[in-house]
Amino acid sequence: MLDLSNNRFDGYIPSSLENLKKLYSLTLSFNNFSGKIMDGISNLTQLTWLDLSNNKFDGQISSSLGNLKKLHSLKLSFNNFSGKILDDFFNLTQLT
């Protein structure tokens, strides 16, 4: 479990985060992260909880999120996403 919420982190999510392959919960909410969600997040295949809400992410929601098949909870609210929701996103059949 990694909770880095409610800080003043900004910029991109560090790519080294994708090395935490046993991580099951990641909360980065209420920061100032921006740009696109890194594709490497798909390497975190054990994630059951992912909260990226209340940041400044933009662009299209990454199709790599569709690889996180164990996700039960996904929070992406209060960002600046645009475009279409890709079909890969609907592979998340464990979402509750």
Q: What is the pLDDT of residues 1-53, one digit of tens each?
A: 999 999 999 999 999 999 999 999 999 999 999 999 988 999 999 999 999 99
Ordered by where they begin, the domains of the chain are 2-91 (3.80.10.10)
- Statement: residue 89 has pLDDT above 90: no
Closest CA to 64 of 74, 77, 56: 74
User: Any idea what DSSP says for residue 17?
Assistant: G
Query: Which residues are bridge partners to 57 per DSSP?
Result: 35
**Opening angle at CA 11, ends 91 and 13, nearest 5:** 40
Q: What is the CB-side half-sphere exposure of residue 55 using CA atoms within 13 A?
A: 28
Global pTM reads 0.94
- Statement: residue 86 has pLDDT above 90: no
- What is the C-alpha separation between 41 and 71, in angstroms, rounded? 12
